[in-house]
Amino acid sequence: MRSNIALKALIAVVCGAGIVSCNNSNNYKNTSRATGWDINSKDGGFQFNSDYKEQEAAPGLVFVEGGTYTMGRVADDPLHDWNNSPTQQHVQSFYMDETEVTNKMYLEYLDWLKRVFPPTNENYRNIYNGALPDTLVWRNRLGYNETMVTNYLRHPAYADYPVVGVSWIQATEFSKWRTDRVNEKQLEDEGFIAENAKYSTEAASTFNTATYINAPTKVYGGNTEMIDGKEVQDRLEDTDENGNPIKKVYPGRESGMIYPEYRLPTESEWEYAALGLVGIRNYNVYRGRKKYPWDGMYTRNGDVKNMGDQLANFKQGDGDYGGIAGWSDDGADITAEVKSYEPNDFGLYDMAGNVAEWVADVYRPIVDDEFNDFNYYRGNVYTKNAINPDGTVKVLGVDDVEYDTLSNGKLVAKNLPGEIAQEAINADDTYMRTNFTDSDQRDYRDGDKSSSRYYQPFQDVDDPSKRMYNSPTYDNFTISDSTDTVENKGYDKEERTTLISNEVRVYKGGSWRDRAYWLDPAQRRFFPQDMATDYIGFRNAMSRVGSKSLNKNKTARNTK
């Protein structure tokens, strides 16, 4: 929680009337180097949070200082399938979940959806149902796992175990929900939203971070009793020098109070964080290599006290998921409770074993470092806020919920009431740009027509046999009514020749079902984004704004 002083400084940022400006021209923070004018003057002019220190770690996250590393350098590659060509990459500093998202964390999400969008209401039924993990992933034709089917998600014995049965799509929706709930509490704690407003929300009156930034009076359905917290009310009781009420205060990005979004980490971020190379840094070089998130080339502990214990939860051999009774190597037969093993040098737990984890990237066999070697990510789909005729952003209402139909016929909500409607960027938005040209960049330089060996300029290549990645395509359609069906929607029945498409995502790390080969952070696999398993979970990341290091004053080249 910020101090009272910091809070008052924020008020000055937004409206400039709450803090007396220092008129001393030697005051660097409150005097403009461009004009010499006062900043944050009570008389008006430019307002800016000049007291901002640095980004604080949001709930559940730890800091990962960015740097350069070799992505895709696996210790073992017996297949030589060009799935992992080593490339030198640089990753910006970011924050990452200390552990995988747990059952208890995900149940909180489900509880919120159930309260705000009750599934007993026909209009909202598929919002909740679409977020439910697939507990049937535990079933096996020749195995008895019904205990996990009925208990793993909800029983308190598994509360701090990583959630599974969650698709990539569901993981991204959880991330968006988490962003809004954290920022909602942040603004409430600072007095800008009414106390306990978060417990009074309904379908037509929810909080959304982007909506608050762009149109704060439209959150909570425009209910001023919830929007205007104590800090806002206190300011309305004050007057300026002319006796006029001071305007309302709604902090935006410039306040430094609102966190960036929770999201899935990129593949490069995840791999860099899992390796924890900071532990083998000596000045400005890495001394040696790391095969796993821990030091050494073996999966067993070499310390005298815990000699021989496994350092992760994984399958150790045929029929061996945890050793014999009384001498359990890793303490688990399926998943294990988070923090059961030591963290890596970034303070991250279970970056090898337990569950594999979804990352944000669309899968391709290659990483195109020739085009980009900074914050590498394949999966960009650029959108923009939809604008009403009067110039305001279009905020979705309860009748505007749309659903995506997955390949298995399941419906998943693609937006929720209170969010800002999004639309694809167009030719006007990309005119004269060199850094991007289309809304959907997932195929860029790999998989689109211009990347095909059959491509010739001005020649249309629609023959499925001549596509680089000949996976089935599905008609793009949207169902606006949760009671609608998917009959006669025209799925492409074309024979599958590859699993690679824009709808498959990378997942990283070994799991309780995997051999040690997959514990290498550089190994990569892919899976359809709308399907789930009993061995893939996820954790969130958040971008860092500002300096690369937490210690801005250190002299890097003289620090060991």
Which one is predicted more confidently, 276 or 467? Answer: 276
Written as six digits, the tokens of 36 are 């010499």
**What percent of the chain is modeled with pLDDT above 70?**
81
**pTM score, whole prediction:** 0.87
For the cut 70, the answer to whether the pLDDT of residue 22 exceeds it is no
Predicted confidence (pLDDT) per residue in 381-395, tens digit: 999 999 999 999 999
d(CA 351, CA 344): 8
Locus of tokens 């696999």: 525
Beta bridge partners of 261: none
**Average predicted confidence (pLDDT) for the chain:** 85
Among the listed residues 359, 358, 338, the one whose alpha carbon sits nearest the alpha carbon of residue 350: 338
CA 126, 129, 130, 131 torsion-angle sign: positive
pLDDT tens-digit series, residues 201-239: 999 999 999 999 999 999 999 998 999 888 877 776 666
Picking from 261, 95, 254, 59, the residue whose alpha carbon sits closest to that of residue 180 is 261
Instruction: DSSP for 318-382, please give it.
Output: TTBSSEETTEESSS-SS---TTSS---TTS---SSSSSEEEEEEEP-SS--TTT--BS--S--B-
Whether 351 contacts 274, CB under 8 Å: yes
Give the type of residue at 215.
A
Q: H-helix or E-strand containing 285?
A: strand 285-286
What would the mean pLDDT of 41-45 be, rounded to a whole number? 73
Q: What is the mean pLDDT of residues 523-535?
A: 96
pLDDT band at 1 (very low <50, low <70, confident <90, very high): very low
pLDDT (tens digit per residue) in 331-340: 899 999 999 9
pLDDT of residue 450: 59
The tens digit of pLDDT for each residue in 173-207 reads 999 999 999 999 999 999 999 999 999 899 999 99
Q: How far apart are CA 436 and CA 447, in angstroms?
A: 17
**H/E element, 281:** strand 281-282
Contact 70, 57 (CB under 8 A): no
**Residue 285 confidence (pLDDT):** 85
pLDDT at 461: 53
Q: pLDDT digits over 242-258, tens only?
A: 666 667 778 889 889 99
Angle at 58 between CA 559 and CA 161, to 5 degrees: 105
Banded model confidence at residue 9, pLDDT cuts 50, 70, 90: very low
Q: How far apart are alpha carbons 182 and 193 in whole angstroms?
A: 13
- Tens digit of pLDDT for each residue in 125-158? 999 999 999 999 999 999 999 999 999 999 999 9
Q: Which residues partner with 420 through β-bridges?
A: 395
Domains annotated for the chain, with CATH where assigned, are: 1-53 (no CATH), 57-187+257-379+511-560 (3.90.1580.10)
Q: Where are the beta strands (DSSP E) in 420-509?
A: 422-424, 478-479, 504-508
